[in-house]
Homo-oligomer: A and B are copies of this chain.
Amino acid sequence: MFTRPDVLPGTRAAACFNQFKRQPPLIHCLTNEVVQELTANVLLALGASPAMVVEPEEAAQFSRVADALLINIGTLHASRAESMLAAIEAANRADKPWLLDPVAVGGLEYRATFARRLLTLRPAAIRGNASEIIALSGLQTSARGVDSQDDSLVALPAARVLASNCGAIVAVTGETDYITDGERDWAVTGGDVLMTRVVGTGCALSAVVAAFCSLPGDRLDNVATACRVMALCGERATAQCSGPGSFTAAFLDALHQLRMEDLL
C-alpha cells in the first residue's frame, strides 16, 4: 500500500538552515542561458556565492574549489556539455557533491542521452518536475515542453527507483515536493502556482539544493530543507506581490530576510 510521506519537521529544517547560514557555500553553476541571473541572485540573497565558470579547463579547476556543482541541461549544447563533463569529473575526484537538473528531458533525444550518461557519474542529488523524473527513471511520459503535466505524488515511485539506482537524493517538485533517498521520503508544502509563471524558479531551486548538498549531516534532510526554504519564501512573496513581475523582487527579499525561526 502507498503511504503519503510525512512533512519535513520544522525543527529539522531550522537546524539545516542554521548550518547553511553559518558557512554559506560557494556554488559552481553550469546552468541554462535563460536563468543565470535569477539563479545567481537567489544564491546571493541566501548569503551563498554563485560562480559560472564555463571553459572546460577552468570549469574543472573551479569545481575542485567550489563547495558544490550545479548541472542544468536546459540549453545544453555540445561545447557546454564538454564543460559539464569536465566539471563533474573534477568534482567527483575532489569529493564535492553535484546536482543534476534534467530540464525537459522527457521529449528531447539529445539531452536525454546526455542525462542518462550523467546518471552513471554519481550525482549527489537530482531535482526535477514529475515528468522529468518519470522520464529519467525510464518510465514513459507524455510531457510537452518544460512544464510538468503530472502531479508530483504520481512521480514519487519513479523518484524512489531513480534514487536507489543512482545512490542520489531525488526531489520531485510541484504543488507538493517529495524528496526521497529511495527508502525514506519527506513531503514539503508551500509555494504557489504563481511561481510557474516566472522563469527559472525551478532552476534556482536546483541551485539551492546543490548548495544544501554541501552541508554535513543527513543529505535527505538537507535537500528537503532547500525545498522548504524556497517554498516558504515563494509563499510569502506571493502574498505580497501583484503578479509575476513583482513576485521576483519580493521573493529575493524574502530569501534575504529569512531567519531560522521562520522555519519552525
Binding site for B on A (CB under 8 A): 26, 32-38, 40-41, 44-45, 49-55, 57-58, 61-62, 65-66, 74-79, 83, 104, 107-111, 144-147, 196-200, 241-246, 248-257
Contact = CB atoms under 8 A, between A and B. Distances in A.
Instruction: State the 4 A-B residue pairs at the shortest beta-carbon distance, nearest first.
Output: A245-B252, A243-B253, A245-B249, A40-B199
Given A36-B33, A40-B199, A144-B65, A57 B109 contact: yes
Contacts of A257: 242-243
B61 A34 contact: no
A61 B111 CA distance: 12
Pick the most buried of A33, A109, A255: most chain B CB atoms within 10 A of its CB.
Answer: A33
Contacts of A57: 109-110
Contacts of A45: 197, 243-245
Interface centre among A58, A109, A198 (most CB of B within 10 A): A58
Nearest to A44: B197
B245 A53 contact: no
11 contacts: A37-B199, A49-B146, A50-B199, A51-B145, A58-B111, A61-B110, A62-B108, A197-B256, A245-B249, A245-B256, A246-B253
A195 B196 CA distance: 25
Contacts of A250: 245-246
Contact of A40 (B34, B65, B246): B34
Contacts of A51: 104, 145-146
Contacts of A32: 52
A144 B40 contact: no
Contacts of A37: 34-35, 37-38, 199-200
Contact of A244 (B41, B61, B104): B41
A147 B26 CA distance: 10
A227 B198 CA distance: 22
